[in-house]
Chain A
Amino acid sequence: MRRYVFGRLGQVILTLLIYVTLVYFLLQAMPGDITMMYLSNPKIPQAAREELKKQLGLDQSLFMQYVSYMKNFFRGELGVSFSQYPKPVWDILMEKLPRTFVLFLTANVFSFYVGFVMGKVIAWRRGKVIDYAATVVGITFWTAFYPLLALVVIWIFAYNLKWLPLNQFIDPRLWSAAPFTANQVFGNMVYGAAIIGIGIFFIFYYLLRGLKPSRRSRAQAWALACALIAAVLFVAARKGMLIYIWDITRHMILPVFTLTLINFAGTMLLMRDSMLETVQEDYVMAARAKGLPDKVVRDRYAARTALLPTVTSLVLSLASSMSGGMVTETMFSWPGLGQTLFAAALSNDYPLATGALAFTGIFLLIAHFIADILYAVLDPRITYTGQSGV
């Protein structure tokens, strides 16, 4: 296992190098350089431009430029943003990263869970009305035009019903006197959510293990789960963070909802196909013949095996769900990596755009890495020698 992890880590670092190189040369291949920005300014003479080129090191060979770029990149010096001059790109990106992380993680967990449950159910009821209805609705959202879907969601829930805020990720009036920065609150939210998630998983796992869990253990499980949530919320309230957490959560609901709508169908359809294959296996028939309840056969026997291919595809779809997330961020003015990237690209802020692109790549690489390890843990058939069979 350790060898596998280190092997993957080596591959990840290599891929990262290639990725950053590609991003660098891609942007080099674009027409013009930084001095072109001054070309249209008649007050700056040719000689001054040459001087500037020298200062910026643009008179050196492409290879030398590349080497110094890579050196700076791994030192965390990504240059200075043009549009938010003189803020360093690194600082801007570090500020935005947690927001994208929270949104991306929450939306992916939700859409994966919704897709998993729906896929399980519609595969079990194949050919029934619910199967067709869920498939058609799912495909429609899956292929929906994201920006427009985001606008429709905003219009319905924020503009007409006024349930939730329109956009942004915090309410500035509330936060002007806040004792924390938004990112501190974000960090604590991630911890809290992790504790609640893992806690609830274990509570339900231990108390509802048997074939027919009694009503008492069911009640116990729910009570314990509620108690855990209450305890976490109590800690947050003691720290005086609760109101800020609520504010961020309120702002998060719509983007997460939109992303879930867009993404759940992918998992759902895969889960359906994978389930259809699994239910034909002999051991599922054996479980049925034993007289196990239908739900137990579905959830404990078929769905667990069917989950594996779905996890593989989750790994493959991370990049596209990132793309969707970035569009969603832009539509909801969620100030994360995606919105920064789009704004930077559209305002020709090259250092920021390059940095954001590189950061997105690193972010995805780490996500890939974690998903790979997760997959290896889930599927004991994977050999840890670095080769994954196929």
Chain B
Amino acid sequence: MNELVPTHETGPASLAEPIWKIRWKLTRRSLRQNWEIFKESRIGMLGIILIIAFGIFGAMWPIMINTVWDPMVYDPVVGFDPMMMHPSPPSGTHLLGTDPIGRDILAQLMHSTGREFLLGVLSALITVVIGTAVGTAAAYYGGLIDTFFMRIADIILLFPFIPLLVVVGAMVKLSFLPFAIIMGVLGGFGGITIILKAQALSVSVRPYIDAARVAGGSNFHIIVSHIIPNVLPLSFLYMMFSVTSAILSEATLSFFGVLNIDMSWGMMIHTADVAGYLFDFARYWWLWAPAGLAITLFCAAFYMVGRGLDEVVNPRLRKR
């Protein structure tokens, strides 16, 4: 980028510090200010606390399986406890009981946490990268590119995701990674593009964009260093909401048994369902309640963080 703005190298002599150091300080200051605003939102803080709790819970899995738990008994997929009838209610050896084929529920829950993080963040990242790139390009160039991508977004908005993926999943069993990518791509070309484009459009008519163009900045330079930084906060906000929708979709599809995933929270409920234990709902509560609660709380946590960020990104929502 520096060859585009050569004045940086020969900048005023009064600058005591190198330019990157000043930038770093500015970034840190704005981060701190935003954190102060974010802290005001109790909903957002609740979300952060929940996410940290899930993080710790998920991080405990490798420790537990390597030290405390016997992998033969506690493996989330192939483990089996020969000492008792299954499904067994919560007890000292199995804190949350076992599932119909003798696997420990707590171990499954912990093992899945890390995977859910990976799935959610990966697909949300893909969504946001595509959404930001396409949205800013559509806003900046306008014309044919704009029309093309907006029409695509319209059509994707029309697709009822879950039924569509059920139909696809019934034919080709999607595994973990392709599913994350499909969710990410579908999300990226969908509604998020429209929102980010609107934001990019409002940025691209500001005077400093004209100034950058007059100063000889190329289109690419203007997009990357002037428009995208101003769209990123909103992208980050929608990333939180994308995590929620990715995880919920995964859980729902797993529940209907159309994904090729060996273990996840939705899969745990699916196992209980196909074995018929969901008919006696209250008696076998440990088969569905932990996983169901985990899905709901995990998604809610990301959503709440998104709500908190909303107040940072959207100054009009702040208290006066």
Residues of A whose CB lies within 8 Å of any CB of B are 15, 18-19, 22, 26-27, 30-32, 126-127, 132, 135-136, 139-140, 142-148, 151-152, 155, 159, 269, 273, 276-277, 280, 316, 319-320, 322-323, 326-327, 330, 338, 341-342, 345-346, 348, 353-354, 356-357, 360-361, 364-365, 368, 390
The answer to whether B304 has its CB under 8 Å from any CB of chain A is yes
From B74-82, B88-96, B162-170, B221-229, the one touching the partner chain is B162-170
Residue from A31, A135, A142 in contact with B172 in the complex, judged by beta carbons closer than 8 Å: A31
The total of chain B residues at the interface (CB under 8 A) is 54
Q: Is the interface of A mostly helix, strand, loop or mixed?
A: helix
- Complexed CA–CA distance, A328 and B258 (Å): 17
Are A342 and B281 in contact (CB-based, < 8 A)? no
Are A30 and B155 in contact (CB-based, < 8 A)? no
Known contacts A143-B296, A348-B170; decide if A361 and B159 are in contact (CB<8 Å): yes
Are B316 and A390 in contact (CB-based, < 8 A)? no
Are B292 and A360 in contact (CB-based, < 8 A)? no
- Complexed CA–CA distance, A30 and B151 (Å): 25
Are A345 and B166 in contact (CB-based, < 8 A)? yes
Are A346 and B256 in contact (CB-based, < 8 A)? yes
Are B168 and A30 in contact (CB-based, < 8 A)? yes
Interface string of B250-272 (1 = CB under 8 A from A): 01100111100000001001000
Are B278 and A151 in contact (CB-based, < 8 A)? yes
The answer to whether B11 has its CB under 8 Å from any CB of chain A is no
- Complexed CA–CA distance, A9 and B46 (Å): 46
Interchain pairs with CB closer than 8 A, number = 139
Residues of B whose CB lies within 8 Å of any CB of A are 42-43, 46, 151, 154-155, 157-164, 166-172, 191, 198, 201, 244-245, 248, 251-252, 255-258, 266, 269, 278, 281-282, 288, 292, 295-297, 299-300, 303-304, 307, 310, 314, 316-317, 319-320
- Complexed CA–CA distance, A155 and B283 (Å): 12
Known contacts A15-B154, A15-B158; decide if A145 and B295 are in contact (CB<8 Å): yes
Are A280 and B171 in contact (CB-based, < 8 A)? no
Known contacts A143-B248, A145-B248; decide if A323 and B191 are in contact (CB<8 Å): no
**Could you write out 10 A-B pairs with CB less than 8 Å apart?**
A126-B319, A127-B319, A139-B304, A142-B300, A142-B303, A144-B296, A145-B255, A342-B166, A345-B169, A361-B160
Q: Which residues of B contact A323 (CB under 8 A)?
A: 160-163
- Complexed CA–CA distance, A177 and B113 (Å): 53
Residue from A269, A316, A348, A357 in contact with B163 in the complex, judged by beta carbons closer than 8 Å: A357
Are A277 and B172 in contact (CB-based, < 8 A)? no
Q: Which 9 A-B pairs have the closest CB atoms?
A: A143-B299, A323-B162, A345-B170, A148-B292, A30-B171, A145-B295, A345-B167, A143-B300, A155-B281
